[in-house]
Structure 1
Amino acid sequence: MTTTDRPAAPPVRTHKEDRTWVGRSIRRVEDPKFLRGRGGYIGDMTVPGMLYAAVLRSPHAHAVIAGIDVVEALAAPGVHAVITGEQAAELCDPLPDFGPNPAAHTWRCLAVDKVRYVGEGVAVVVADSRYLAEDALALIEVEYEPLPAVVDPERALEDGAPLVHDDLGSNCAYERTFDFGDVERDFAEADVIVTDRLRWHRSGGQPLETVGAVADFDHATGALTVHTNSLSFTSYLFMVAGTMKIPANKLDIRPVPAGGSFGSKLFATKPAVIAGMCSRQVGRPVQYLEDRVDNMSNCDHHGSDRVYDVRLAVMRDGTIRGVDIDTVEDYGAYIQFGVGHHGNALAQVVGPYAMTSVRYRVRAALTNKNQQGAYRGFGSEVNNWMLEQMVDKAARELDLDPVELRRRNFIREFPHFIPTGNVYDSGDYDAVLDKALELSEYKRWRIEQAKAREEGRCIGIGLITAQERSVFSATEFWFWFDEPGAPVTSMPESVTLKVDATGGITATLYSCAFWGNSPETMVAQLVAEEFDCDPHDVSIVYQGSKNGLPATGPGGSRTTVMLAGAVEGATAKIKAKALRAAAHLLEANPDDLEWVDGGYQVKGVPEQRKSLADIAVMLHLFKHSFPEDMESGLEDSKVFDHPYTTMPSADRTDLGVFYPFMGHACHVPVVEVDLETGSVSFLAYAAVHDCGTLVNPRSLAGHIVGGTAQGIGTALYEEFVYDDDGQLLTSSFLDYLIPSAMEVPELRIAHHETPSPYTLHGIKGGGEGGRMMAPAAINVAVNDALAHLGVRVTELPITPDRLRAAIRAAESARGRE
């Protein structure tokens, strides 16, 4: 698909400057209930007659299940049911799976024939309490026949490696190479080819509340109601109904506040299916809530786990021509989302740089580990880290200032189509960089660095410039295949707005409840902006899936943009009806009225007006005051589809527009490395973000701080470590280290706003930015601190052991010179 073949972009929006509520920092409208302990988490739910489920987990990474004896467990006090994997396979079909060839690597709520990672469930007990259920688990006897395990992704792809799924015949679940632009020419003409091998180990979101559900199956009607903190992709919940073997119109998924997700609860269907299966079996409501070990070993949402071999084609003047990426990703035992992590990467694969070609080879390896899912960034944060390490290395090899090298390559004309075909809608990368240099006191720290080095101290400054894609299109799930099984194109979001007889406004949302992105506050601000009311006067409610409009839910930093469009659409319908009603009541021509301060008034005659409340009470209670064709009430809905997406080309040389609203940021941490202990401490940290027009700067600052804290964990502390036998060595917070307030520095945060031309108010997504930038910035800072010693760290997390090993290796190399 050539540039001239691309479908036209949507019309450019005109953004008003005199906004009242959008752009103001207000306290979240959700806060009172959470601060009072009334958030309504799964762990707080009690239902009359409710029972509790607990899952027995495999101690083996790979083994045949030769037999299970549940007689003693069934006889234990308070036990109502014990369901094995074999029984579960009769009660439920396989779990929803967006991965390649699901028939050959069937994924179920409990293992049937063999287990494929430590922690995989093999049986579930339902009892009067969780304690009794756990006691009964200890009475189940499972006979295992251990098999060889494979835990290294590159080893898994070798001939003769143990097969995770025999029916696949290989541990390579997917392989493809994409070329965008003239890769061969750019590398042939390059003055310098920078190469490197990089390793990003897996970590994961650690929610305050783990994944859980309360299910209640009604045998009288055949209906299943599930309260859960886990599900999104509301439009695809019919797949969960299929797993449960019930009609989709008999399933009602009701959202419960997540208690933290960071992506780790994205379409997490297994707990809801287990709870639903158990409820149908025992005829009573059942709660299943993972404990912490469950969540860490069996959550199906470990983060990315990649090996990179990368080449960067660069000219002597610092111009970056192209990038050649060869990556192996360890997906664990299953691959529920396919290689969607790499779709996220391809959306912004060139970063903010105007390079002309990309080669991207991906191989998806299956190993005997818990499978990957979503974690804040969903693979694009890994791409940011990889690319910024390469750009930083190129600056050193060319002896160019790393700030200047980045500036020379910035994209400056928008909209800009990158080689993959995705579009960057807008941006001003120079302005972001300039603000970051000033905010971070970059020049002063360079002087301090030189002074410290004379004292034998190692201070490093890690400046990076990187992207934050937002608002995905459905095409990214299937453009990987020439003949996709389900080339869907809808990813909508919906809102219903109701103005009651007193003028009070209620907004009904149809996707997941409060994932941390403050949907209630954001929608309240958007509604207040349209109707000139106070956001705290807007009531926000959530609807279950059975009675819900099409919705996709959070993920990919899409919620604010999509709900803003839905609110605008519903508002327009309500205002159109209110205008007609006001014109009738004022005996005026609609063209002579204007919306001012929450009502319609005659232009030039402000005393002749009707407020929204005046109009609402009449429409609700005085039908005969209006023409016969006007209906009572003031309520309307909007199903808002993606504002800008295009189809991929048939030959996949152009993937189309699939992640168009491109945020940008510059992070500048200053660190000090202790050569003796390998510890890394922060001296300063500055971050400047461009997420388009801000809705609530206070809330966005919370995203940036929280995301950066997670990025610090990814860079320095957090890792799911498996030994050679596939045993998870970091299955609790005793071993899986998370940064506390003592390790996270005070952040200096600033914003630069370049509105998107295609969204309401110019909003872009901003929920993932901190984590998408921090690992890259911290790695660059550590390398900057140790560059004079010949040390360069290429593996995350940068633990003290790894750092000391790199220092010792450099010392040994210097000793041999």
Structure 2
Amino acid sequence: MGTGIGARVARKEDARLLSGQAKFVRDLKFPRLLEAAYVRSPLAHGRLKSVTIPEKYKDRVFTASNLSDVLPIRPESTLPGYKASQQYPLVKDKVRFVGECIAICVAPTRAEAEDIAEQVIVDIDPLPPLVNASDAKTRDAPRLHDDWDDNLFLTTAFDGDLEFAEKNATVVIEREYNTARQCMNPMEGKGTLSYWDDKAGQLVVYTSTQVPHLIRTGIAQYLQMDQGQVRVIAPDVGGGFGYKCVLQPEELSVSWVARKLKRPVRWVEDRREHLVAGANTRQHHYKLKAYADDRGKLLGIDAEITVDIGAYSVWPFTACLEAAQAGGNLPGPYALEGYRCKTYSVATNKPGFTPYRGVARPGVCFAMELTIDAIARAVGREPADVRRENLVPGSAMPYTNVTGKFYDSGDYQHSVTEAARAIGLEDFRKRQKEARTQGRFLGLGFGTFTEQSAHGTKVFAAWGLPLVPGYEQAMVKLTPSGSVEVRSGNHSFGQGLETTIAQVASEWLTVDIDKINVLMGDTGMTPYSTGAYASRGMVMAGGAVSKAAEELVKRIKIHASHLLQCDAKDVALKDGKALSGAASVDFADIARAWYLRPDQLDEDVDTAGLEVTQGYKPDIDTGVFTYATHAAIVEVDPETGKVSFEDYYVFEDCGRRVNPLILEGQTYGGAAQGIGTALFEEVLYDPSGQPLTSTLADYILPGPAELPHFRLEHSETPSPYTRHGIKGVGEGAAIAPGGAVLNAINDALEPLGVELNELPATPHKILSAIMDADRPEEVAG
């Protein structure tokens, strides 16, 4: 196996990340560097009347009037009925959320820039704020955007046939579900540093992003520059989770000031800025009606989904990706014929909505998984059995579901069987019954999902986005010393992509990954890529590296055949050497001959050389589907509302595993974020739109003491449509915990007549539900 695909090797990047040698935006040093701080709106909604700048700071403070040549961020969509918002990098006329940027101040240090910002006076005429989507949807609500006739970015409808379900259902379940607004909280916040390079004639932008090539396009578009005049470099990035895959207004204003002053300018987001003004996510409301027979077989779903988008549409994913994903993914892994869904993307006075790990699927998984358990209770059956019988069977693969999702491979039912076995379902029911006699409330919950990964051009185009992914490109090169260099326009921000794409190259070239140098994230030095999002990195970047490495192997063999005096088809590669019978030649000798001693090669040697760039797309454009089942056992204290984990098990299938060690880390991290969604994290606002969770003392993240010991097992069902059978896995583990944990809580509190349908399940909400529950007499007494 060596260090190729399937090898359990440590991450290449950890050597620098763990020793303090990494270079983040904050670590960069430039002469004459200025630091930036922003004057931000103190109100959620109002008309900006004036900005008063002290005379001595006129050359250090810039407002929208200065940036008159910068276009507003206006993501367009081809979807019928979509309304585009305009977000100026600095507020021009109207503030629309607390923390929106009004002015940028620069000084030699951040502290001095903040001192200047405090002396800038803004005069804002308050307007009524829209703090929740239900109020914003009403016909007489104030307009967030003056040229709109309502506050809806978009309304969509999937009008499926529910006639059979309505006529034949013996069980009808109606529920409303809510998921809280969240912040992403990567370890490193946003950050950007720009300067003008006179020699190259370029604006050079170092920025903490997942999508450097896309950000180059956005900066050039809105600063009205040719893309050849812009170079974007993503250095080491300390986490992203989707937060860093959109164009940030600060990237535009910092870049404009740097070009204006001909000096490097940097801004790094602090934690309060992130919690107040950073993009938000996750806030959904579901009205769901499920039709089933007397065994719990799903016949149809009728749903209405409202997404609280915030004030602005983000570029390039728009305001409507979340609702589009929610409506299309609500059926999840379940086989049902009847489906109808309407979605509303609503504008409110909050920061804009950015894709976050799982994009809509944590919400739809939560809603569906709680509905499955509600059906199971209604028909008096074990939820695991009802869940398993409703899943798409492995024998039906490949399977096209009711919304057109093409499930390429897998055995969803098997994942539930394995989870039930590993969690000890039968034994647990006995222990649960005994614990209830002792006044202890134990519960077991399952959550099953599919993760659409590496979906491509047609899928994103159908969502109406202004930019859609195409062919991923990569370059693989044999250097003059015989080592290997890989260049990818994708980027690594914690998911281990430097290591895994090196493993793909190692698989073909037979050299250890220590001899493979991976360069990513620099638009001036890498092939074009739309970047890292949608769990596409390993499928797409890995696929492109695989294709380029395969071609490089052919060229190495041709060059080796000249040195070995044999036919190229008789050459094999092993351990960084070319072999023919007993004879061998090192890669270093092959490279030296091509680059430095071509006189050793025949006159008719292939002149294509030892540098290969290839483009790649999977054989299908609809994406490939990872799937998993999570199972959680919890104990709920009815006196305090505290939830404690007894066990947490994950059974996952992501196709062929490139690096099991990295995969486990991704799963643990994703599940930890999902538990944050389930139990802790929520962005709260008062009625005036003021954020109430502006510090980490208010916005609660789970730590080691709050997390369970995760147990994890895998199966491998390779996709027949991707190189090496690989599927994406980066987002998956964050999807299921909300459903699994809430089902466990509801299972625990069933004797008390409690059914929670809201995330997060905080102690306050649990205690409120217990007090409000209609308890059975024997329990209440």
TM range (shorter): over 0.9
Q: For 2:277 and 2:305, locate their aligned partners in 1 and report how far apart those are by CA, in whole Å.
A: 25
Q: Which runs of 5+ in 1 are unaligned?
A: 1-17, 646-657
Do the aligned residues in 2 keep the contact of 1:713 with 1:738 (CA within 8 Å)? yes
Q: How does 1:631-650 map to 2 (within 5 A)?
A: 631=607, 633-645=609-621
Indicate the residue corresponding to 2:335 in structure 1. Answer: 354
Counterpart check, 1:139 vs 2:119: yes
Q: How does 1:451-462 map to 2 (within 5 A)?
A: 451-462=434-445
Indicate the residue corresponding to 1:616 in structure 2. Answer: 591
Q: For 1:632 and 1:418, locate their aligned partners in 2 and report how far apart those are by CA, in whole Å.
A: 46
Aligned with 1:549 (options 515, 527, 530) = 527
Indicate the residue corresponding to 1:449 in structure 2. Answer: 432
Distance change (3 Å), C-alpha of 1:281 and 1:236: closer
Indicate the residue corresponding to 1:792 in structure 2. Answer: 755
Distance change (3 Å), C-alpha of 1:139 and 1:597: closer
Normalising by structure 1, report the TM-score.
Answer: 0.91
Do the aligned residues in 1 keep the contact of 2:323 with 2:345 (CA within 8 Å)? no
Counterpart check, 1:562 vs 2:562: no
Q: Which amino acid aligns with 1:409?
A: N
Indicate the residue corresponding to 1:12 in structure 2. Answer: none
Q: For 2:257 and 2:709, locate their aligned partners in 1 and report how far apart those are by CA, in whole Å.
A: 47
Q: Which amino acid aligns with 1:270?
A: P
Q: Which amino acid aligns with 1:279?
A: A
Instruction: For residue 221 of structure 1, report the CA deviation from its aligned partner.
Output: 6.2
Do the aligned residues in 1 keep the contact of 2:483 with 2:587 (CA within 8 Å)? no
Instruction: For residue 166 of structure 1, report the CA deviation from its aligned partner.
Output: 1.0
Instruction: For residue 585 of structure 1, report the CA deviation from its aligned partner.
Output: 2.8
Indicate the residue corresponding to 1:321 in structure 2. Answer: 299
Q: Which amino acid aligns with 1:172?
A: L
Indicate the residue corresponding to 1:520 in structure 2. Answer: 498
Aligned with 1:722 (options 662, 666, 685) = 685
Q: For 2:465 and 2:382, locate their aligned partners in 1 and report how far apart those are by CA, in whole Å.
A: 48
Counterpart check, 1:705 vs 2:681: no
Do the aligned residues in 1 keep the contact of 2:657 with 2:716 (CA within 8 Å)? yes
Q: How does 1:169-184 map to 2 (within 5 A)?
A: 169-180=149-160, 182-184=161-163
Counterpart check, 1:776 vs 2:739: yes
1:125-172 Cα shifts (integer Å, max 9, x gaps): 011110000001110111111010111101111011111111112101
Do the aligned residues in 2 keep the contact of 1:91 with 1:277 (CA within 8 Å)? no
Distance change (3 Å), C-alpha of 1:677 and 1:73: farther
Aligned with 1:113 (options 75, 79, 93) = 93
1:554-609 Cα shifts (integer Å, max 9, x gaps): 1111101112211111112212212222233333333344444544434xxx2034
Q: Which amino acid aligns with 2:321?
A: G
273-282 or 730-739, which deviates more: 273-282
Q: For 2:633 and 2:117, locate their aligned partners in 1 and report how far apart those are by CA, in whole Å.
A: 50
How many correspondences in the alignment?
A: 772
Secondary structure, in 3 states, of the residue corresponding to 1:689? strand
1:374-411 Cα shifts (integer Å, max 9, x gaps): 11111112111111111111111111111111111221
Distance change (3 Å), C-alpha of 1:543 and 1:713: closer
Counterpart check, 1:749 vs 2:712: yes
91-100 or 351-360, which deviates more: 91-100
421-430 or 230-239, which deviates more: 230-239
Distance change (3 Å), C-alpha of 1:500 and 1:546: closer
Normalising by structure 2, report the TM-score.
Answer: 0.95
Q: For 1:114 and 1:628, locate their aligned partners in 2 and report how far apart those are by CA, in whole Å.
A: 69
Counterpart check, 1:674 vs 2:640: no
Q: For 1:105 and 1:259, locate their aligned partners in 2 and report how far apart those are by CA, in whole Å.
A: 30
Counterpart check, 1:70 vs 2:53: yes
Instruction: For residue 73 of structure 1, report the CA deviation from its aligned partner.
Output: 6.3
Aligned with 2:171 (options 165, 173, 192) = 192
Counterpart check, 1:23 vs 2:6: yes
Q: For 1:356 and 1:611, locate their aligned partners in 2 and report how far apart those are by CA, in whole Å.
A: 60
573-582 or 558-567, which deviates more: 573-582
Do the aligned residues in 2 keep the contact of 1:340 with 1:476 (CA within 8 Å)? no
Q: Which amino acid aligns with 2:137?
A: L
Distance change (3 Å), C-alpha of 1:632 and 1:153: closer
Q: Which amino acid aligns with 1:170?
A: D
Aligned with 2:446 (options 463, 466, 473) = 463
Aligned with 1:226 (options 183, 200, 205) = 205
1:674-693 Cα shifts (integer Å, max 9, x gaps): 11111111111111111111
Q: For 1:583 and 1:219, locate their aligned partners in 2 and report how far apart those are by CA, in whole Å.
A: 47
Do the aligned residues in 2 keep the contact of 1:581 with 1:626 (CA within 8 Å)? no
1:192-249 Cα shifts (integer Å, max 9, x gaps): 2221111111112101111011100246765200001125162573232011121111
Do the aligned residues in 2 keep the contact of 1:561 with 1:763 (CA within 8 Å)? yes
1:641-670 Cα shifts (integer Å, max 9, x gaps): 34411xxxxxxxxxxxx3x31111111111
Q: Which amino acid aligns with 1:520?
A: E
627-636 or 260-269, which deviates more: 627-636
Instruction: For residue 746 of structure 1, report the CA deviation from its aligned partner.
Output: 1.0
Q: For 2:63 and 2:175, locate their aligned partners in 1 and report how far apart those are by CA, in whole Å.
A: 48
Do the aligned residues in 2 keep the contact of 1:620 with 1:632 (CA within 8 Å)? no
Q: For 1:84 and 1:731, locate their aligned partners in 2 and report how far apart those are by CA, in whole Å.
A: 25
Do the aligned residues in 2 keep the contact of 1:96 with 1:240 (CA within 8 Å)? no
Q: Which amino acid aligns with 2:139?
A: D
What is the identity percentage for the equivalent residue pairs of Structure 1 and Structure 2?
31
1:702-721 Cα shifts (integer Å, max 9, x gaps): 11111111111111111010
Secondary structure, in 3 states, of the residue corresponding to 1:617? helix
Instruction: For residue 758 of structure 1, report the CA deviation from its aligned partner.
Output: 1.1
Do the aligned residues in 2 keep the contact of 1:260 with 1:516 (CA within 8 Å)? yes
Counterpart check, 1:500 vs 2:483: no
Do the aligned residues in 1 keep the contact of 2:415 with 2:628 (CA within 8 Å)? yes
Indicate the residue corresponding to 1:307 in structure 2. Answer: 285
Indicate the residue corresponding to 2:375 in structure 1. Answer: 394
Distance change (3 Å), C-alpha of 1:331 and 1:343: same
Distance change (3 Å), C-alpha of 1:684 and 1:731: same
757-766 or 572-581, which deviates more: 572-581
Instruction: For residue 613 of structure 1, report the CA deviation from its aligned partner.
Output: 3.2
Secondary structure, in 3 states, of the residue corresponding to 2:735? helix
Distance change (3 Å), C-alpha of 1:806 and 1:73: farther
Q: For 2:548 and 2:461, locate their aligned partners in 1 and report how far apart those are by CA, in whole Å.
A: 31
Secondary structure, in 3 states, of the residue corresponding to 2:66? helix
Indicate the residue corresponding to 1:589 in structure 2. Answer: 567
Do the aligned residues in 2 keep the contact of 1:462 with 1:782 (CA within 8 Å)? yes
Aligned with 1:156 (options 136, 139, 158) = 136
Indicate the residue corresponding to 2:38 in structure 1. Answer: 55
Q: Which amino acid aligns with 1:207?
A: P
1:443-476 Cα shifts (integer Å, max 9, x gaps): 2222221111111111111122221221122334
Question: In angstroms, what is the RMSD of aligned CA positions?
Answer: 2.2
671-680 or 466-475, which deviates more: 466-475
Q: For 1:711 and 1:189, locate their aligned partners in 2 and report how far apart those are by CA, in whole Å.
A: 36
Do the aligned residues in 2 keep the contact of 1:233 with 1:267 (CA within 8 Å)? no
Distance change (3 Å), C-alpha of 1:491 and 1:235: farther
Indicate the residue corresponding to 2:397 in structure 1. Answer: 414
Secondary structure, in 3 states, of the residue corresponding to 1:360? strand
Counterpart check, 1:808 vs 2:771: yes
Q: Which amino acid aligns with 1:742?
A: A
Counterpart check, 1:692 vs 2:655: yes
Q: For 2:461 and 2:288, locate their aligned partners in 1 and report how far apart those are by CA, in whole Å.
A: 25
Counterpart check, 1:665 vs 2:643: no
Q: For 2:521 and 2:289, locate their aligned partners in 1 and report how far apart those are by CA, in whole Å.
A: 49
Distance change (3 Å), C-alpha of 1:474 and 1:293: farther
1:246-281 Cα shifts (integer Å, max 9, x gaps): 111100000112211111111243232122011012
Q: Which amino acid aligns with 1:763?
A: I
Distance change (3 Å), C-alpha of 1:103 and 1:331: closer
Indicate the residue corresponding to 2:413 in structure 1. Answer: 430
